[in-house]
Chain A
């Protein structure tokens, strides 16, 4: 545990440096762009716990994300709690959805599981569209407080919040990866029948993975209504979230916590730059092209590419 605490402190120090850097630039746009990138760090890291560590590809990330988003909408219209108080609630509900999905679908393997997750997103989408309390298909406005203590703007506040969440998400993912749980998940990914024979409680571990992954995705969605101030189903369930949550770990490398982090920072930043310089719609095109390139040329992602280069250099030298 001590080395995990050490990593957390180091990660928080890096997060502090990032914050100081953005504060020094002092431009609200940096917070806008940074928030989106960091939100993808959380989403990609969460996706990777199930998709990367366990080998179960989830196409329904948007569903879990939306549970977080709409938890906030409901709370905003009823109790009006502050965002940090909604975080565990949205996470919990998305986690329960993950657990339920796990129970129903984890007997399915491979592509059948993936199709079931896709269906889940569609089902949830139509439920939200028909739920008028949260705005139904028209959407809902979420007016954020004009001012917030300690911060220059509300967007800066949300940015810092997401920075902390991203740091915690990466920390949790790294801890899972290096634990007995992570080893069991890797065994399931490699050969589920063999894992079963070796005495790995496969169903239990898979349920832990779906729940944790869902929880983290839900948490990532909670601050969004206050960030965009207007949410509607087609935006919340957009293809972008599901595709990015999947493409970022695949491009970064799925077997380690570092992969989704690299993928999200790189792809997220690239998309922000493209939005400003080219157009907002070109984003998914970039993701698509990069995904095709990586899947065909570097199936182990940037991390795998890096490891291969290190190996080659070592062999040449030694």
Chain B
């Protein structure tokens, strides 16, 4: 059981404040999409949850199996150790390491270590392509394969909360649909709790239960995927639909 509760969060880079008083929640087993065009703070929010951007105000509470942890102020390694994993924007693989080494690095947190063999087998079962290429350097694979690897690497840590930052960036539309489909299958298979930033609205609502539209660092709208999709104004102004 895991859930995320962000309350009155402000964060930014140096003198530039990006997020203003943002509150949102992700319930157990839910997939929540952060929507909005580029430069509105989606990635900053994801980075604040994983500890790469320090919040200036507000709280980020992660509840895992009945224990609540305050993530604000924690280091990324400590947050990952709790069971949060990220599929970073632009994938951020280790290009000069092999596919297998990349996957093993996903299982660096203590709790994931005993299950390395099982999780590796599961990853190879889900992504047969990665099994074929396990000894190949990650940087030599195609964009789609690299995105699969980034996703598989995050799953290697057996995450309680999965953060996905812009999974569709730099991928061909056909690959994007396949990617979204894979995330949906994984979510159903493992009951993952997911927070996903995505500017591709039509793709995101395919798998999201709920969504938040971020505009200039503030939550402008929220609702179920269907509600957001039905709102003509949101589609036209914020989502490029």
Give Cα A190–Cα B50 distance, bound, in whole angstroms. Answer: 20
Q: Of B77, B92, B96, B97, which one neighbours A200 at CB under 8 angstroms? A: B77
A197 interface neighbour in B81, B92, B96, B101, Cβ under 8 Å: B92
Q: How far is the CA of A180 from the CA of B116 in the complex (A)?
A: 12
Select A184's contact among B50, B79, B108, B153, beta carbons within 8 Å.
Answer: B108
CB distance from A49 to the nearest CB of B (A): 17
Residues of chain B lying within 8 A (CB to CB) of residue A196: 52, 76-77
Whole-angstrom CA separation of A193 from B91 in the bound complex: 12
A193 to B92, CA, bound (A): 8
Binary interface encoding of chain A residues 175-210 relative to chain B, with 1 for a CB under 8 A from any of its CBs, else 0: 000001001101100110111111111101000000
Q: Mark B55-85, 1 if CB is under 8 A from A, else 0.
A: 0000000000000000000001101110001
From A183, A191, A193, give the contact of B101 (CB < 8 A): A183
**Which of A190, A193, A201 is close to B97, meaning CB atoms less than 8 Å apart?**
A190
- Contact of A187 with B105 at beta-carbon distance under 8 Å, contacts A194-B94, A196-B52, A199-B81 already known: yes
Q: Are A190 and B94 in contact (CB under 8 A)?
A: yes
Interface residues of B, dominant DSSP = mixed
B52, B94, B96 interface centre (most CB from chain A within 10 Å): B94
Q: Which residues of B contact A183 (CB under 8 A)?
A: 101, 104-105
> A248: shortest Cβ distance to chain B, in Å?
22
> Is B228 engaged at the interface, CB distance under 8 Å to the other chain?
no
How many angstroms between the C-alpha atoms of A198 and B138 in the bound complex?
15
Dominant secondary structure at the A interface = helix
Residues of the A chain whose Cβ atoms lie less than 8 Å from the Cβ of B93 = 191, 194
Instruction: Please name all residues of chain A whose beta carbon is closer than 8 Å to the beta carbon of B94 when the two chains form the complex.
Output: 186-187, 190-191, 194-195
Q: Which residues of B contact A186 (CB under 8 A)?
A: 94, 97, 101
User: Which residues in window 191-233 of A have CB below 8 A to B?
Assistant: 191, 193-202, 204
A187 proximity list for chain B (CB < 8 A): 94, 97, 105
Residue of A nearest to B93 (CB): A194
- Whether the Cβ atoms of A190 and B76 lie closer than 8 Å is no
**Would you call B86 an interface residue if the criterion is a C-beta within 8 Å of the partner chain's C-beta atoms?**
yes
- Taking the complex as formed, is B106 at the interface, i.e. its CB lies under 8 A from any CB of chain A? yes
Q: Which residues of A contact B106 (CB under 8 A)?
A: 198
In the bound assembly, the distance between CA atoms of A201 and B77 in angstroms comes to: 5
- Which residues of chain A are near B52, meaning CB under 8 Å? 196-197
- Interchain nearest-CB distance for A229 vs B (Å): 46
User: Can you name the residue of chain A whose Cβ is closest to the Cβ of B87?
Assistant: A197
Query: Contacts A186-B101, A190-B97, A191-B92; is A197 near B108 (CB within 8 Å)?
Result: no
Chain B residue nearest to A201 in the complex (CB): B77
Residue of A nearest to B76 (CB): A196
Give chain A nearest CB distance to B197 CB in angstroms: 14
Residues of B within 8 A of A195 (CB): 94, 105
B167 at interface by CB-CB < 8 Å? no
**A/B interface sample: 29 pairs, CB < 8 A:** A183-B105, A184-B105, A184-B108, A186-B101, A187-B105, A190-B94, A190-B95, A190-B96, A191-B94, A193-B92, A194-B94, A195-B94, A195-B105, A196-B76, A197-B52, A197-B76, A197-B80, A197-B88, A198-B80, A198-B86, A198-B105, A198-B106, A198-B108, A199-B80, A199-B85, A199-B108, A199-B157, A200-B105, A204-B77
Residues on A close to B: CB < 8 A? Answer: 180, 183-184, 186-187, 190-191, 193-202, 204
**Interface residue ranges, B against A (CB under 8 Å):** 50, 52, 76-77, 79-81, 85-86, 88, 92-97, 101, 104-106, 108-109, 153, 157
Sample of 13 more A-B contacts, CB < 8 Å, known A186-B94, A195-B94, A197-B80: A184-B105, A187-B97, A190-B96, A190-B97, A191-B94, A193-B92, A194-B93, A194-B94, A195-B105, A196-B52, A198-B106, A198-B153, A204-B77
